[in-house]
Amino acid sequence: MVDDDGYFSEPIAATYDESAADLFRPEAVDPAVDVLAELAGDGRALEFGVGTGRLALPLAARGVAVHGIDMSRAMLDRLRAKPDGDTVDVTVGDFATTRVEGTFSLAYLVFNTINNLTTQDAQVDCFRNAARHLRPGGHFVVEVGVPALRLLPPGQTAVPFHISDTRWAFDTYDVVTQAMSSHYVTVVDGRAEHWSIPFRYVWPAELDLMARLAGLRLRDRWDGWSRAPFTSESTGHVSVWEKPAD
C-alpha cells in the first residue's frame, strides 16, 4: 500500500543509504557534483527528488545554495538528521508541480528520478516546472538510463539487474505503455520479502521534445558524469537543457 510518502516511506527510507551504498562512494558522487557546481555557477540549485541528500549535501558544501523538493517526509527526515543537513532548504511536494520561491541557475534530477513520474503528462509537467524555476540562461539536468529493451527476446518482459544468494532484482517492461516496474526480492531468515516500484521509461528523443515544449533546448548529452560521448551503446545518459537567455 502506498502512503503519503509515496513509494519511499519509512521502511524504505530507513535503509535507503545502505541499499544504495555504491552511489554514495566518492567516485560516484564527486563527478556529478563537479558538473552540477559548474552549471550552478554563482546561482542557486533546485533538486527534484532530493531524497536523503546524496548530491545536495556535497553540492551545498561547495558553496552552492541548494533547495530540494521531495514528497517523502521520511527521506527528508534522514537528510535533516545528517551533518550539515540544515544547509539544504527543503519543500515537501510533488516535484512535477510544486513551486518554491525565487529563481535558480540550475534545476536537476538524478538516478532515474524522472521515471518516478509514471505518466507522460507528469513528465512534461516536470520539464515545465523546471523551466518556470530557471532564470534565463539556466540549465536543467537529467540523469536517466536508456531503456534496456534490446535485452528482451520475443515474449520476455523481465530483465534482471542483480542476483545474489540473498537478493534478486529485476525490471519488467510493457512496451505498449512504456510502463515498467523494478522488483526486489530479499531473503531474510529463510523467508523471501518482495516489494516493487512503478516507473515510466522514457527515450532521449522524447525528453528532448518535452524540453522543447517547456521552452528549453538541448545543450549537452553525455554517457555519464565523466562527460564521455553518448553513443548507441550507452546504457544511460546525463542530458543538459538550457533556458534561452533571451
| Strands of the sheet with 167-174, listed across from one edge | 158-163, 167-174, 179-188, 191-200
CATH 2.20.25 range(s) for the chain read 149-197
Q: What are the 10-residue block averages of pLDDT along the chain, 246 residues in total?
A: 70 88 96 98 98 98 98 97 98 98 98 97 98 98 96 94 94 97 93 94 98 98 98 98 94
* pTM greater than 0.85: yes
Residue 27's contacts (CB-CB under 8 Å, 6 or more residues apart) are none
Cα 74 from chain centroid? Answer: 17
- Please report, for residues 17, 65, 69, 146, the alpha-carbon distance to residue 105 in angstroms, rounded to integers and kept in the order given: 28, 10, 16, 27
CA 71, CA 84: separation in Å to the nearest integer?
A: 21
Regarding beta strands 104-109 and 134-145, do their DSSP bridges make them parallel or antiparallel, or are they unpaired?
A: parallel
What pLDDT score was predicted for residue 54? 98
Nearest CA among 61, 67, 65 for reference residue 43: 65
What pLDDT score was predicted for residue 11? 86
- Name the fold adopted by 10-147+202-242: Rossmann fold (3.40.50)
CATH 3.40.50.150 range(s) for the chain read 10-147+202-242
| Structure-block grid coordinates of residue 52 | 536523503
User: In CATH terms, is domain 149-197 a member of 1.20.1070?
Assistant: no
DSSP structure string for 29-64: HHHHHHHHHHHHTTS-EEEET-TT-TTHHHHHHTT-
